[in-house]
Amino acid sequence: MKKFSVFILFFMISIVIAGQGKPIWLDDDFREMSYPAKDYFTGFAYGEVSTSRPLQDVIQQMITDAQADLSRKIRVQISSRSQTQIEAVSDNGQYSEKEKFLNRSVIESNAEVAGIQTETFHDAKARIVYAFAYVKRHQLTDYYKSNLAMNIVQTEGLLQTAYDLLEAGEKAKARGQCEAAIPLLAKLRTVQDLLTAIDVNVIPDDLQLTKTEALHNRLTQMLAQLAQAIFVYVECTESNFSKPTTVVGNRVKSTLSAKGCSFTDDPTQADFLLQIEATTRHHGDDRGFTTCYADVAIQLMDTRKGKNVFRDEFSQKGVTTSLESAGRKALEDAAPSIIQKISPWIEN
């Protein structure tokens, strides 16, 4: 009899509201009955229309407010469930992985919730705009479990690539892969937060906490390794009697690499900026031998300190039987001198 009375009540309400041309979700009792909290998350908002603000702007604002109201309810539930489970569940005095996770669960106020449907109504006579947002819990659960799995695969791929690059000595590129993984791991945390609120029966395996923690630890370890590496950006302009060459640059990079340095093509990612200018000149000939000099200018900037730490100019002699080979010999022998001059700064 009671259920029948409730049905009649809502039937009458729907007739009255429909007769006024208004959607029945405007009624609080109807929303609670038709969109129960055990099956839905909902949000509701309304605001007045003024002459100083376009109607479309008010409608958009109410949509945003209704969705924010829905998101707020999820955040409140996250906080509530976290505290309840932490206080109620323990395993021999030690919290399980789930409780540890819930204890640190924090969701941003502007976190997006997928699949929200929103309806609006403009009461022109009363000059009020209403918005109603709703989403089914089970749809969110399926979506975020899939999203969680996808982001884990992407993070694993980035960290594996970073590891391979690190092993190959490509530390700058490895750092880039790690930096790309950081926001993905943060996103994993947010998705896990949402799942704890959406599904009351969620378990640690659903949240993939062990795998996420392993990824976090792996990233932390690689970042620690990369923090010990020295990244150098080398800008070398050299020529052997007006012919461009790479003799000095290649030898300097090879020696620095053996000392544990890595190189980057992005100066903003470098710890040091090394600029080298080298040209050759003919000095003289004597009894079938040609003497040439490589005139070298070097400048080293420590980007961490934001200043130039070393600058020098010197000449290196080269002697062989021809002009070009003597110039090349001078350039080759200039490289060790450059390393000797800059090493104390880079190694510190």
Query: DSSP 3-state helix, strand, coil percentages of the chain (rounded to 5)?
Result: 55, 25, 20
pLDDT score recorded for residue 82: 54
8-state DSSP, 25:
G
Task: Map 149-163 to HEC letters.
Answer: HHHHHHHHHHHHHHH
Six token digits for residue 67? 């969705």
| Residue 342 Cα to chain centre, angstroms | 35
CA pair distance 259, 232, nearest whole angstrom: 12
Mutual angle of helices 171-198 and 137-167, in 10-degree steps: 160
Question: In angstroms, how far is the first alpha carbon of the chain from the final one?
Answer: 85
CA pair distance 184, 159, nearest whole angstrom: 11
Walk me through the domains of the chain, giving residue ranges and CATH numbers. Answer: 2-136 (no CATH), 139-228 (1.20.58), 230-347 (3.30.160.150)
CA pair distance 301, 314, nearest whole angstrom: 18
Instruction: Give pLDDT tens digits along the chain (348 positions).
Output: 445 444 444 444 444 444 457 899 999 888 989 999 888 989 999 999 988 888 999 999 999 999 999 988 887 776 665 555 445 444 444 444 444 444 444 444 345 677 889 999 999 999 999 999 999 988 888 888 898 999 999 999 999 999 998 888 777 788 889 989 999 998 888 888 778 878 878 888 888 888 999 999 999 999 888 877 788 999 999 999 999 999 999 999 999 988 878 888 888 878 899 999 999 999 999 999 999 999 999 999 998 788 999 999 999 999 999 999 999 999 999 999 999 999 988 865
Q: For the whole model, what pTM was predicted? A: 0.54
How many C-beta neighbours within 10 Å does residue 105 have? 19
Angle, CA of 290, 292 and 295, to the nearest 5°: 180
Six token digits for residue 208? 């993939």
How many C-beta neighbours within 10 Å does residue 6 have? 12
